[in-house]
Chains A and B, each alone.
Chain A
Amino acid sequence: GAVVSQHPSWVICKSGTSVKIECRSLDFQATTMFWYRQFPKQSLMLMATSNEGSKATYEQGVEKDKFLINHASLTLSTLTVTSAHPEDSSFYICSARGAGVGTDTQYFGPGTRLTVL
């Protein structure tokens, strides 16, 4: 149980376009979802925290107008990278925490590799 999926697993786009990444909790209700970014050979950096039905809370230094997060249901959160540039190329990972699956534990998706040309 406690499976989190991400789609797509990888995406290549042109500079200036927008990319949407989906994060789904498959077998539990995710009351809170988190979005992380990871550059090569580096650690995960939290970008934002979202609770279902409310606005996301962004970490310092993360542009909320560039990284749009929507958590419209208890099983789906989306991250849209708007007007992507090459420096946005990274590995984006979501995680979810929810009721009935151990509230201390975050379950991570497999990640989405974004390459902006």
Chain B
Amino acid sequence: SQQGEEDPQALSIQEGENATMNCSYKTSINNLQWYRQNSGRGLVHLILIRSNEREKHSGRLRVTLDTSKKSSSLLITASRAADTASYFCATDANTGTASKLTFGTGTRLQVTL
């Protein structure tokens, strides 16, 4: 399987703490994207980082990419209860005429008050 691995599988923190999720993948990529999914809902696109970028910020989100290690991390600072969701990384490998996303296994984040 080409699916990426994420760790931890589940993470429980208190409001105000930072949450870090890691993603490892197997193939060369054009870009890596992070998505959030609330229970039973669709996906919300959070951030995209290209293969020639090493770090990117968006609000309380910070994403890093290490292509030599084929890994990425998502940091959510000052977490809020509303951040409770599953977070997925997805790699875009552009292996042919149509690039497609391969999703990681996901991290379930629980933020408690």
Q: Which residues from chain A sit less than 8 Å from chain B, CB to CB?
A: 6, 32, 34, 36, 41-46, 49, 51, 57, 91, 93, 95, 104-111, 113
7 CB < 8 A contacts A-B: A46-B100, A57-B98, A93-B43, A95-B43, A108-B42, A108-B44, A111-B41
Q: Is the CB of B101 within 8 A of A46?
A: yes
Main secondary structure of the interface of A (DSSP, over half): strand
Q: Which of B40, B44, B98 is in CB contact (< 8 Å) with A32?
A: B98
Interface residues of B in 17-71 (CB under 8 A from A): 30-31, 33, 35, 40-45, 48
Given contacts A49-B98, A105-B48, contact A43 B42 (CB under 8 A): no
| Residue in A43, A57, A110 with the greatest tally of chain B CB atoms within 10 Å | A43
Which chain B residues lie closer than 8 Å to A110 at the CB level? 41-42
The answer to whether A104 touches B45 (Cβ under 8 A) is no
